[in-house]
Amino acid sequence: MVFKSQLLTDDRNNNEHTAIEAAAGLNRRQFLRRVGLSAGAGLLITQNMTQSLASDAIEKNHSMQLTKDDLPTALLDERSSSQPSLTQTRCITPTIETRLFASSNVGGSDDRNQLALERMACAGFNVNNPTITNRQYLRFAGTDSQRASDLQNLATGAIAAPKLLLGVRGGYGAMRILPMIDWLTLGRIMQERGTILAGFSDVTAIQCALLAEGDMSSLAAPMLYSEFGKTVPDQVSCRQFVEALTNPNLVIDISDASLTSPNLPSILTSAEPKAITGTIWGGNLSVVSALAGSEYLPRMDGGIVFLEDVGEQPYRIERMLYDLYLAGAFKGQQAIVFGALSGAGEDSYDKRYDVDTVIRQLHQLTRLPIYSGMRFGHIGQKHSFPLGTKCQISSNTAGGYQLAFSDYPTIKADAIQVEGLWQTA
């Protein structure tokens, strides 16, 4: 167990090294801010686009190193004809105080990180600590102490809480740092400041701990490296990210269950579906199930459980669901909502043993209504949404359902230029 008081010292040692490098001269982001983003962003992003194209090719040739947040790049064609073309846009002065946290894997490409940072600045996000994208320890984005300090320094007051805390990427590693953070104090400070923590995939561990121990909401959303650093960012995901950040009354409509399983109804229930209101919590199934039995798994009376995953065979999905069931995670809950369960594949013993079979078995076990097809997970065109906040689910006459969210922090819409998130020259 690392004492929390040691984290600030470790982080300062790391920051001293990066400060020496920064003192040598203005980096490109500082130059952008000095001369004015609208005048200089195009040239700089042109240079990085060329480098990013090369790095994307390298990453795709090293598929053995892919982690879950990389899988959409491997499974989906980002350059399909349906993807809107990138355009040059006029940047705005970044005013939204933003900090990054790198709780999991190291980024695979410095150029991709730099491109993502420039896009964030163009869109209006003033990132205060871009150098953490350069950290690495083994497979992780820094030592456990360094990664924990991204959040613990906010809890101690050593660093002021920003408006947005954005995850760099997922993969693995967030669980290692959970005992090193004062979640209760961090949650209180974030509530006072109206801070929004955003991410998904392995960041689910951070979001669950923040809710369970700090009673603070977060945002299920794309991340710096995983989305905004792509050669061709998904414009729908970018727009929905900004929508969730700025709309205090977010509503998402779901028409079918195909993202979970095409063989399921949108609402699987033994009775006439009725409107449900409760705190929605959860995230990536692999991570949520790994927290079973720990203090970091939220215990929400009358809650709504959200789950998604990628690249897991049906029997593994069922085993993780049983982990949660046997740990009592579904007790006292009102419903289960499934997002995308992509890349599940076929069972080698019996092809009939599929996701549809698994979900129906869960329904028999829990007797809870199950809503499928929520447009979030390791997919393109995803809809960001708040976790750990009030959610109302209601059915519609077309067989689908609607999720309406309330009581979560937001950002003023006029502070964001959404087109900057896919800016190019």
Active-site residue list:
201, 308, 378
Q: Distance between CA 251 and CA 401 in Å, rounded?
A: 11
- How many of the other CB atoms lie within 10 Å of CB of 247? 13
Please, is 398 exposed, middle or buried when counting C-beta atoms within 10 Å of its C-beta (0-12, 13-18, 19+)? exposed
Is the CA virtual torsion 86, 417, 376, 282 positive or negative?
positive
Strand 335-342 with 304-310, pairing: parallel
Q: What are the structure tokens assigned to 3, written together?
A: 């004492």
For 21, 73, 421, the CA distances from 379, given in Å and listed in that order, are: 37, 9, 18
**In the 3-class helix/strand/coil scheme, how is 19-73 assigned residue by residue?**
HHHHHCCCCHHHHHHHHCHHHHHHHHHHHHHHHHHHHHHHHHCCHHHCCHHHHHH
Give yes or no for a contact between 183 and 151, defined as CB atoms under 8 angstroms apart. Answer: no
Give yes or no for a contact between 221 and 198, defined as CB atoms under 8 angstroms apart. Answer: yes
Helix (H, G, I), strand (E, B) or coil at 400: coil
Q: Distance between CA 362 and CA 368 in Å, rounded?
A: 9
